[in-house]
Structure 1
Amino acid sequence: MTGPTVGFSVTHRRYVPHSHAHYGGNLVDGAYGLGLFGDVATELLIRTDADEGLFAGYSTVEFTAPIQAGDVIEATATLVRVGTRSREIDFEARVVCRSAPDRGPSAADVLDPPVVVTRARGTVVAPPRG
């Protein structure tokens, strides 16, 4: 445990399976990115507060580009404010790899630069230290 320090961040990467596509064009719902933010916030709190904490809510959420089945998505949580028990976190989800079905059924590309698909700011609450 490092203790809550502004600027501390955690990043997860995950492949988006085709079973998660809900819409035409293999699009995945925006809530997929928010689910990733919950997971990365949980690890951040475990590392800073030795507890999973509880998500209190989002103050902002921006969907900036689509998430598609076959993407490899990266979600980062960065601690931006530390209160007595509350922790304010900036989130960003980026597509780092994307399938390229026009070249073949398993073709894919590394995106350089990655495509930012979702940004948010949220607050989590850690239990009182005992």
Structure 2
Amino acid sequence: MSDPNLGLTVIHRRYVPYSHAHYGGNLVDGAYTLGLFGDVATEVAIRMDGDEGLLAGYSEIRFLGPVRAGDVLEAGAEVVRIGRRSRELRLWAQVVARAEPERGASAARVVDPPERVVEAVATVVVPTAT
């Protein structure tokens, strides 16, 4: 019998502030997106198990494109495998809006279709039931 939580999906959106730009071209380091993955993984664990759980590790991470200050990122997690205490998640981040400072100080555009910038597979572990 299949677990009804298989396929559970959580989505968060966040504006990337200019205070997080570390590199030329207002580039943001990859750790910023991994922090977002931790947030969506935590929500998955809360929804499934009533506990924040622990993001135990990544089995795969692929950086596919740049994340820049002024982006609006969508981070998502989907439950793809459920073990007794572990949950395997497929994670992604995509740019849904991007600043265009060359057009003006507050200019921006919607990115349609969204630009996938990071993909990962991670394992979340939850405590045993007491």
Give the TM bin, normalised by the shorter chain: over 0.9
Q: Which amino acid aligns with 1:61?
A: I
For residue 87 of structure 1, what is the aligned residue in structure 2? 87
Deviation at 1:5, TM superposition (A): 1.2
TM-score with structure 1 length normalisation?
A: 0.96
Structure 2 matches for 1:102-113, cutoff 5 A? Answer: 102-113=102-113
Structure 2 matches for 1:6-85, cutoff 5 A? Answer: 6-85=6-85
How many matched pairs? 128
Distance 1:60 1:12 in 2: 21
Q: Secondary structure at the match of 2:90?
A: strand
> Alpha-carbon deviations, 1:59-108, whole Å to 9, x = none?
00000000000000000000000000000000000000000111100000
Q: Secondary structure at the match of 2:91?
A: strand
> Alpha-carbon deviations, 1:14-71, whole Å to 9, x = none?
0000000000000000111110000000011101110000111000000000000000
The verdict on how the C-alpha distance between 1:42 and 1:4 changes in structure 2, with shifts beyond 3 A counting, is: farther
TM-score with structure 2 length normalisation?
A: 0.96
Distance 2:27 2:128 in 1: 41
Distance 2:115 2:5 in 1: 28
Distance 1:9 1:38 in 2: 14
Following TM superposition, the consecutive aligned residue runs of length 4 or more in structure 1 with deviations greater than 6 angstroms are none
CA RMSD in angstroms comes to 1.0
5+ long unaligned stretches in structure 2? none
